Amino acid sequence: MRKKLFVALVCGLMIVPFIMGTATAKTLKIGSMSPLTGPYASDGTDIKNGVLTAIQVFEEAGGIPGYDKIELFAQDTACDPKQAVAAANKLINLEVAGVVGAYCSSSTIPASETLDEEDIPMLTPASTNEKVTDRGLPYMFRLCGRDDDQAPAAAKFLKESLNAKTIFIVDDKTTYSQGLADGVSKAAKELGMEVVEHDHVNQGDKDFAAVLTKAKQANADVFYMSLQGYSPGALMALQAKRIGMTSQIVTQDAMFQPKFMEVAKDAAEGVYLTYGFTDKTTPEYKAFEKIYVPKYGAIAAYATYAYDAATVLLSAIKNSGSTDPAKIKAEIMKMDFDGVAKRIKFRANGDSGSSYIAFKIDKGEFVPYWHPEKGLLK
């Protein structure tokens, strides 16, 4: 009997530390929001992978004091406003400390208002519509640039580098694409260019024969595509080539995705697009590339911005020693450092500045081509 009691006591003593250790284990929860299904899934997956890379870097460096691990709860918005709000509510229920996302401005705007009700910081790596940070939400931050910076840069490029006099514009009526297209139209007119047509297609369309026939007949110097993702842009470029359209194709940051070239093939060659400049020679970029590429493949669109956004959030939590939103924000507003995508320093409204330049697709590569202040880069 004594032997059985002794064995039971020993087993009990062995179990107690295990139970206590489990009870004190603490997980830092953060969320991400991006399209993980649908036509923009590649871009959304890039965002998720950028966040996961930041978590890996932090954990390999010892993690964040007070937490045993950092866990990402990645939510699929499908670039649908209602689904984005539902994703935001789910993250609220999970009690995340902050959110990196979303991709589409039409998702970020309503989701951020839901998160703001609970004072949860949101850092978007990809939503460029100016309304994202112009509404005065105290915990809304943006790592990428703004469309009211991108549009004038694009128009200036059309005027100064391409010497364009006439432009045909098309968008897909989304918050992002139509907002940017309107901005380009306005800026182009202010610079003395004629917008011969501003037409629209529908999100999800795959046959662009009608609008491309009109564009071919208009024969403008530039055919400007403002579309939500790389997939419709690649299809439109392919179809434009097939019908023999000769206008120079110029597009925007959503096409900064290697898969645009994979789908469009030869039709992608010679296309110009605007996107934020990233110096790929910096130690920060090289370190990111070394970790990201072997695991996830080519660095696309907003992976670097998502990494920087997650780095900002995790650094703020670590430096403040807290998940209190006010303390996180205070730390974010102190930051001034070289990220992977760009120099990061936030303004009072949550923006971190724009660095748009024009790229040219040349032999399957996005080649920096023109700078708003420096002119031609090569």
Q: Please give the average pLDDT of every successive group of 10 residues along the chain, which has 378 residues.
A: 38 41 76 95 96 98 96 97 98 98 96 98 96 97 96 98 98 95 98 98 94 98 95 97 97 94 96 96 98 94 95 98 98 98 97 96 96 91
Given this model, what pLDDT does residue 301 score?
77
Q: Is residue 351 part of a domain?
A: no
Q: Is residue 19 part of a domain?
A: no
Given this model, what pLDDT does residue 369 score?
97
On the question of a cis peptide bond just before residue 102, with omega within 30 degrees of 0, the verdict is yes
User: What per-residue string of b and e applies to 195-204 under the rule 16 or more CB within 10 Å gives b?
Assistant: bbbbeebebe
Question: 84 — phi, psi (to 5°)?
Answer: -65, -40
- Same domain? For 124 and 207 the reply is no
How many domains, in total, are found in the chain? 2
- Same domain? For 247 and 367 the reply is yes
Alpha helices in the chain (DSSP H): 2-24, 41-60, 81-94, 105-116, 131-134, 147-160, 175-190, 209-218, 230-242, 258-264, 283-296, 303-320, 325-334
- Same domain? For 28 and 115 the reply is yes
Given this model, what pLDDT does residue 300 score?
83
Given this model, what pLDDT does residue 24 score?
62
Q: Give the CATH number for residue 223.
A: 3.40.50.2300
Given this model, what pLDDT does residue 25 score?
72
Given this model, what pLDDT does residue 15 score?
42
Residue 99: domain span = 24-144+280-346
Q: Is residue 18 part of a domain?
A: no
- Same domain? For 289 and 336 the reply is yes
Given this model, what pLDDT does residue 349 score?
97
- Same domain? For 115 and 218 the reply is no
- Same domain? For 157 and 80 the reply is no
- Same domain? For 190 and 121 the reply is no
Question: How far, in whole angstroms, is CA 310 from its chain's centroid?
Answer: 12
Q: Is residue 235 part of a domain?
A: yes
Given this model, what pLDDT does residue 378 score?
72
- Same domain? For 184 and 323 the reply is no
Q: Is residue 16 part of a domain?
A: no
Q: Is residue 8 part of a domain?
A: no
Q: Which residue has the tokens 């790389």?
A: 230
- Same domain? For 29 and 115 the reply is yes
Handedness of CA 48, 54, 60, 64 (dihedral sign): negative
- Same domain? For 196 and 316 the reply is no
- Same domain? For 211 and 336 the reply is no
Q: How many residues does the chain have?
A: 378
Q: Is residue 88 part of a domain?
A: yes
- Same domain? For 171 and 309 the reply is no
Q: Is residue 15 part of a domain?
A: no
